[in-house]
Amino acid sequence: MSEPLRIKLDRTLCDGFGICARHAPDYFSLDDWGYAVLVGDGNIPEQHRDAVRRALLDCPVHAILEIGERRPDETPIQPLREPDLDQLKTEDNEAEWGFTR
Ligand code: SF4
């Protein structure tokens, strides 16, 4: 079974090309000015995923975003390192590291 598809529409990005409404009219409609409106709560059932994904990929301004639980990178976050105080550049040692005013 494939992962669930959840989307959201950033209407501030929409330029009103209407491609999404053509690909997936059950999930996108156009308002009176031709800008997209998301129909429903953004949860896309499996049988409509291809059409909605097509709309997502074809939107020229990337106004349709996939949201999900997946993290693209599972690399653990590295802890911050303490600075090496002996290497710290200060006014006291500026002659050593070559700072000029
Ligand atoms: S395809 Fe993108 S730009 Fe075009 S109407 Fe849909 S959301 Fe807006």
All structural domains of the chain: 5-67 (3.30.70.20)
Q: Mean of the per-residue pLDDT values for the chain?
A: 87
**What is the arithmetic mean of pLDDT over 78-82?**
79
Contact call for residues 6 and 68 (beta carbons, < 8 A): yes
**8 Å CB contact between 65 and 10:** yes
| The two structure tokens encoding residue 46 | 């499996």
Distance in Å from the first CA to the final CA of the chain: 65
Task: Indicate if the pLDDT at residue 69 is higher than 80.
Answer: no
Q: Is the CB of 52 under 6 A from ligand 1?
A: no
Biggest distance spanned by C-alpha atoms of the chain: 69
pLDDT for position 41: 95
CA 11 to centroid of ligand 1, rounded, Å: 8
The amino acid that residue 73 corresponds to is D
With cut-offs at 50, 70 and 90, classify the pLDDT of residue 99: low
Q: pLDDT tens, 17-46? A: 999 999 999 999 999 999 999 999 999 999
**Is 61 a pocket residue for ligand 1 (Cβ < 6 Å)?**
yes
Q: Which residue has the tokens 């006014």?
A: 91
